[in-house]
Amino acid sequence: KSSKMLRSHHMIIVMLPCLVRTVFADNCSISSYQCGTHFTCPSIFERNNICPFSRMPGQLEEIKGELATFGMGCFWAGDSLFGVLPGVIRTCVGYAGGIKESPAYKNMGDHTEVINIEYDPELVSYTHLLSLFWNNHEYSLTKKIKRQYMSLILYHNEEQKLQAEKSREQEQRKRGEIFVTEIQKFSKFYPAEDYHQKYRLQNHPWLVETLGFNTREILCESPLAAKLNGYIAGAGTLEQFERELPNLELNEKSVQYLTKYIIENQGSGLYC
């Protein structure tokens, strides 16, 4: 894995139009789709007009949403980036885009490392996910690299295809460049090996054991695992974490442990 930084998160004060259903901040009301107040938040949220203090209904419940699948370099960083995003329900990293049966990390064939994202479209739109995708690639969008780390959008329906093609055209015009990003129809997703799932979270075995995240299935299916994997990597702010705490049902020792690493890793950037 490359040690290259994906993107640093600089702390800034911004005015955010919050495109979310429920928010927790001054001048924001329940069931409001817009709010106007000052927030301290990472630039990834400001760039994409997403309120970082939104609550995700069903965060600890088995709810089903829509799927998005992206290849944007090493999948560890993308897993943290999307996992902590308000409106994302669960994430899983794996291999897709090729025809080889049963790929593995050391025998991937023609597949690409991807992040499979389940999200609530009432809280975060596919367009917002695409914006994060374009702005957080580990490698260049304009130079071809080996297929394992290529820039790839796998659409799940015709609406996603149209939105992906439109956003690619808009980003190319804005930057004055031609992207090598491929847009293909989703076919099959193969979950990666256990040690790849919620990789940053698994670097903290005490927390993993305490919360019972001891199988690949749990790591892929648990909304809480997705959230904490992002927080502990520094992809979410301490303010966001504190506002979501009532929904996370963590014990005091786990909260103290997570708080330490959120503060320590905030602003260090996502990397592989």
Catalytic residue ranges: 74
Q: At what angle do helices 223-232 and 252-265 cross, to 10 degrees?
A: 40
Q: At what angle do helices 126-135 and 75-83 cross, to 10 degrees?
A: 140
Look up residue 54 and give its DSSP letter: B
Closest CA to 44 of 133, 153, 142, 170: 133
Q: What are the DSSP calls for 218-268, one per residue?
A: HHHH-HHHHHHHHHHTT-S-HHHHHHHHHHH---HHHHHHHHHHHHHHTTS
Residue 28: which residues within 8 A CB-CB, separation 6 or more? 18, 35, 37, 51, 53
Question: Phi first, then psi: what are they for 31, rounded to 5°?
Answer: 65, 25
Residue 22, SS3? coil
Residue type, 61: E
Residue type, 194: D
Instruction: Find tokens 């847009």 and name the residue.
Output: 183
